[in-house]
Structure 1
């Protein structure tokens, strides 16, 4: 508080009092500045904020309870179907040259070389994962090749102890069948030759005919692998397939004439698509009692192709499973499908088909 000053004095006293007053004001101002200086730059390296200027440290809080342990993610395992306890699971599969032949491996021609081990293992993995009761194969080499598949499957946990192996005029590629259940009978088609352009030809890979009885029900399997689309000098390749289809159809008609209730599964690599004469010859007329229903199989994406021709990048449905009218009611159409599990392209240029019967 400033002293009360009276100005009722002489001039000299007035000047002296004015000086005293100015000095007092100056001293007060300097004292005020000493209490609050300018904001220092506390971000300068090596410089600490004084204790009076730091934020108050909150009182320590109790530690939160420990978080519950997090379970590790489940291991990724390949889904494997359970072996069937009723009905029948059938796979039709062209395994692409499970045989010894000249092959190109890494752009090198290798003479008399078996199917690469990586491809074989991919075939085995796919089959074991789908636990079929019966498998119908195309493009098997010798009987020993079918036995190799059989032993490889058994070592991987899929035991199909019963087998059947046949061929036609092609000395290299044959048909084979493996079964969990005993093969009760086999047969041969009455006709296996046809005439074309004045020459006699035999069906290339024959017609596999084997019957099994599974859980009290008979199933008769007819397997084929028709002439490929590769041109030959002797005859038109398309006409050859049509003639082979006629031989198969005559065999089917003979069986159904003898037993109209025959439970037939007619399958294989037709090397032709649905609109062709080959396909229609095999299935017959829809209104005919002997009509064979082609199962409308699709993969997990809704696609229906079964073969990829890599040279021309063409995807086609040329592999089929068909059934007679007596067996059609037992087909599980929703569960039957084209197998497209990862690695299919390592195993073969074809995708396997699986039909499930109740």
Structure 2
């Protein structure tokens, strides 16, 4: 689904990671058919939040299938925001896919869909895979983006924490493989990691043996870093992250990197958008 065309000029660029919470047809009314869209009020709020921020690159979690993704892009276009380059990594359940939209050309695609880990005798695939693309921001600057959505905290007989830790370990292996191949690369890892920064899975993501990645830890205008609201427990967590490697760290514009603080976030999703802003020059 990557497009083609002239590389636009850009001195800086923004990347938003956003879990849009089941932007898909599902059985929402208990009727037994997956025919109910995300409620209109929620969809409108998602579109308004994105169009207000106008990110150059958008990394999405919990996008639906091709049809849902097409309607999502059409809604953005109707709101005045067009992305000519797009990728959807459809795996497993139709409502929890990974996607990326970009104003800049996606020049290389190498999604990771074959990673597996062992828990006892069970061989378990990484459920959502890892969306992996190279984006050419201008003629002299490109970066590699990995979009990830690790195992949720929903119960599993295999142990949801252990599953998430194993997925995180494989994500870090992908990072190490990339850095071994090209230590000077600009690498951004974004997504919903479904755990707190001090957890074992997040230590795996960042790299326990020398810290291959740096957590940008954006905050909102009030200084709050949380990104996920849990209605059942009336609590907040930071589950959504932007990590960069040493090669991309100098490009971070920290004063513009942020968590979106807006009342619409509560209507749109159980997650808040996180935005990183970067200089487009090594």
The TM-score with structure 2 as length reference comes to 0.91
Matched length: 269
1:101 partner SS: coil
Distance 1:344 1:109, change over 3 A: farther
Equivalent position of 1:33 in the other structure: none
Whole-Å separation in 1 of the counterparts to 2:200 and 2:66: 32
Match among 291, 307, 310 for residue 231 of structure 2: 310
* 1:329-344 superposed matches below 5 A: 329-344=250-265
Whole-Å separation in 1 of the counterparts to 2:194 and 2:102: 25
Contact 1:93 1:353 in 2 (8 A): yes
Match among 277, 284, 298 for residue 219 of structure 2: 298
Whole-Å separation in 1 of the counterparts to 2:92 and 2:163: 13
Q: Where does the alignment leave 5 or more consecutive residues of structure 2 unmatched? A: 1-8
Match among 150, 154, 169 for residue 230 of structure 1: 154
Equivalent position of 1:219 in the other structure: 143
2:71 partner SS: helix
Distance 1:338 1:286, change over 3 A: farther
Quote the offset at 1:92 in angstroms: 0.2
- Out of 216-225 and 163-172, give the one that drifted further: 163-172
Whole-Å separation in 1 of the counterparts to 2:224 and 2:233: 19
User: Please, what is the CA RMSD of the aligned residues?
Assistant: 1.7
Distance 1:92 1:190, change over 3 A: closer
Quote the offset at 1:169 in angstroms: 4.2
* 1:6-17 superposed matches below 5 A: none
Equivalent position of 1:140 in the other structure: 63
Whole-Å separation in 2 of the counterparts to 1:236 and 1:87: 42
1:36-61 per-residue CA deviation (whole Å, 9 max, x = no partner) reads xxxxxxxxxxxxxxxxxxxxxxxxxx
Match among 271, 274, 282 for residue 194 of structure 2: 271
Structure with the higher strand share, 1 or 2: 2
Question: Where has structure 1 moved over 6 Å in runs of 4 or more?
Answer: none
Equivalent position of 1:116 in the other structure: 39
Contact 1:135 1:178 in 2 (8 A): yes
Whole-Å separation in 2 of the counterparts to 1:230 and 1:287: 31
Distance 1:293 1:333, change over 3 A: same
1:321 aligns with 2:279: no
Contact 2:87 2:99 in 1 (8 A): yes
Quote the offset at 1:342 in angstroms: 2.7
2:61 partner SS: strand
1:355 aligns with 2:248: no
Quote the offset at 1:155 in angstroms: 1.2
Distance 1:215 1:229, change over 3 A: same
Distance 1:102 1:191, change over 3 A: closer
1:128-172 per-residue CA deviation (whole Å, 9 max, x = no partner) reads 111111000000110221221211111111111110011344454
Contact 1:92 1:353 in 2 (8 A): yes
Distance 1:335 1:224, change over 3 A: same
Whole-Å separation in 1 of the counterparts to 2:81 and 2:240: 24
Contact 1:241 1:278 in 2 (8 A): yes
Answer with 1 or 2: which has the greater Rg.
1
1:102 partner SS: coil
Contact 1:169 1:206 in 2 (8 A): no
**Bigger relative CO (Cα 8 Å, ≥ 6 apart):** 2
Quote the offset at 1:314 in angstroms: 1.7
Contact 1:163 1:176 in 2 (8 A): yes
Contact 1:273 1:318 in 2 (8 A): yes
Match among 262, 275, 280 for residue 185 of structure 2: 262
1:307-326 per-residue CA deviation (whole Å, 9 max, x = no partner) reads 00101112000110101110
Q: Where does the alignment leave 5 or more consecutive residues of structure 1 unmatched? A: 1-83
* 1:237-252 superposed matches below 5 A: 237-252=160-175
1:90 aligns with 2:23: no
